[in-house]
Amino acid sequence: MNFLNKIIFFYYREYKLNMSGIQDILTNIIFFFISIFIFIFSIGSDKETISLIGVGILWTLLLLSSTLSLRKFYQDDFENGNLLIIHLNGFSFGFISILKTFSHFLFVQVPFLLSIPIACILLNISNDKLFYLFASFSIGSLILSCLGSISSSMNLMNQRNFLLGSVIVMIFSVPVIIFSVGIINMEESFNSLINILFGILLIVFAINPWASGLCLKLSLENN
Amino acid sequence: MLIVQDLSIERLDKKIFENISLSLVPGNITILKGKNGSGKTTLLKAILNIIEPSFGSIYWKGKLLQKNLYDFYNHVTYIGDSTSSLKKLTLRDNINIWKKFFISNVNDAQIEIALKTLRLDNYLNKKVGTLSFGETKKLEFLRLIMENKKVWILDEPLSNLDEDSIELMKQTFEDHCGKEGSIIFSSHQNPGIYVTEEINL
């Protein structure tokens, strides 16, 4: 029971932290919408062209916007020693990475999820595609959070080159983009593609605590 | 309770320290003394099982530490050289988070007394980021009271504190040892605290 309470209060702490830095979340969303506008201005006002490539643009921008927040994934807790304190309170490093991944999903990805309908209007994506977009983004964003956790924990040992972590996330998110965009453009293969996406989620979800946990331990050891 | 036996640590083929032994029983205070870079923090991290020693072993309640790790963690509070309070939040928020996360049985009246003793009661609604380093460090000590654990592992607890606060810490150390608690702390200066064991690194 104590352990469950600790998990609940871990998220209470994450909520407080994220609410105190809500401007960071809003900046991400603003970056996302401004980027959509830039795409629209650069492509032109042809509705059909925008509609045709809209889903691809949306997914690319969601990926880029969510990588913006990766720097803070573990960095603050690592620098102020909270990572160690949380570990000393009975959470293994692997378990911390699972909790942080869900926290990133809740406080960074869910706001994007909620802003998708507005983005769809801007990019002339039809309403009937909205369900597929939500389904693919719900799974895809969890995959991105898992990849983000791995790359951010690796970055703790590499203070000099933050971009390296973003590059790793982008390379490994190529399959996510392919299948997620595929789901929306090929609705008849929805079941098979969503299963593949779900399979990728299970793989990264299994690797994440192991890889991130090890990186967290190594970075604290070498700090 | 805690026994460190012939501990040696090498990093990148460089010997940090070797053959360090110590034992910590209830009521004991152990000080780790040494210059900057002599390995005090490394030894504390090894005791916390964050750094793996090259040689030697650590025992907790008669068992190897690795095999009894989470029981050890249930009995230990660590205060490191960085301040763990969240700078964006107020003192009150930090205290609430600690109280809930550590499932502390310390009540509000006790916290209020501790805050008054630390002279932090006027800053409750201020953000931690606006406090001085010494005040943030004092806030850190509140965690010792809130976690209410038997073993305290403290990295340079007396640095950046004024004379009154050092005196207060001495009193707190004595009280804790009087309640069957034990303390390991590091210092590069002579703190003027009665210690039962001194390890020179």
Which residue among B74, B85, B97 sits closest to A16, beta carbon to beta carbon? B97
Tell me if B101 and A82 make a contact (CB, 8 A cut-off). Answer: no
Structure pTM?
0.89
Q: Are B51 and B45 in contact (CB under 8 A)?
A: yes
Q: Environment class of residue B34 by beta-carbon count within 10 Å: exposed (0-12), middle (13-18) or buried (19+)?
A: middle
| A190, pLDDT greater than 90 | no
- Tell me which chain A residues have a C-beta less than 8 angstroms from the C-beta of B85: 80
- pLDDT tens profile A45-70: 788 888 888 888 888 888 888 788 78
Question: Identity (one letter) of the amino acid at B153?
Answer: I
Say what the pLDDT of residue A20 is.
86
Say what the pLDDT of residue A51 is.
81
| A165, pLDDT greater than 80 | no
Say what the pLDDT of residue A216 is.
93
Say what the pLDDT of residue A196 is.
92
Length of chain B: 201
Q: Are B201 and B33 in contact (CB under 8 A)?
A: yes
Say what the pLDDT of residue A99 is.
95
Summarize the confidence of residues B39-67 as an average pLDDT: 90
How many domains are contained in chain A? 1
Tell me if B88 and A17 make a contact (CB, 8 A cut-off). Answer: yes
Q: How far apart are CA B102 and CA B142, in angstroms?
A: 12
Q: Environment class of residue B162 by beta-carbon count within 10 Å: exposed (0-12), middle (13-18) or buried (19+)?
A: exposed
pLDDT band at A83 (very low <50, low <70, confident <90, very high): very high
Length of chain A: 223
- Tell me which chain A residues have a C-beta less than 8 angstroms from the C-beta of B76: 88
Say what the pLDDT of residue A199 is.
94
Q: How far is CA B179 from CA A47, B26, B112, B151, B176, in A?
A: 76, 8, 21, 11, 5
**Closest to A150 measured CA to CA, from A85, A216, A92:** A216
- pLDDT tens profile B119-168: 888 888 888 888 888 888 888 888 888 888 899 999 988 887 888 888 88
Distance from CA of A183 to the nearest CA of B (A): 41
Distance from CA of B105 to the nearest CA of A (A): 13
Tell me if B97 and A9 make a contact (CB, 8 A cut-off). Answer: yes
B81 → chain A, closest CA residue: A81
User: Which residue range(s) make up the domain with A178?
Assistant: 2-221
Q: Environment class of residue B190 by beta-carbon count within 10 Å: exposed (0-12), middle (13-18) or buried (19+)?
A: exposed
Summarize the confidence of residues A10-34 as an average pLDDT: 89
- pLDDT tens profile A111-127: 989 998 998 888 888 88
**Average pLDDT score, chain A:** 88
Say what the pLDDT of residue B39 is.
86
- Tell me which chain B residues have a C-beta less than 8 angstroms from the C-beta of A5: 100, 103
Tell me if B101 and A20 make a contact (CB, 8 A cut-off). Answer: no
Chain A interface, best mutation among B10, B100, B102, by max A CB count within 10 A: B100
- Tell me which chain A residues have a C-beta less than 8 angstroms from the C-beta of B77: 88
Q: What is the ipTM of this complex?
A: 0.89
- Tell me which chain A residues have a C-beta less than 8 angstroms from the C-beta of B83: 80-81
Which residue among B74, B84, B88 sits closest to A85, beta carbon to beta carbon? B84
Give percent of chain A above pLDDT 70: 99
Q: Are A177 and A95 in contact (CB under 8 A)?
A: no
Average the pLDDT over each of A74-83, A143-152, A182-191 and give the range with the smallest value. Answer: A182-191
pLDDT band at B108 (very low <50, low <70, confident <90, very high): confident
Tell me if A12 and B85 make a contact (CB, 8 A cut-off). Answer: no
Question: Could you tell me the strand order of the sheet in which B29-33 lies?
Answer: B76-79, B151-154, B182-187, B29-33, B197-200
Summarize the confidence of residues B169-181 as an average pLDDT: 87
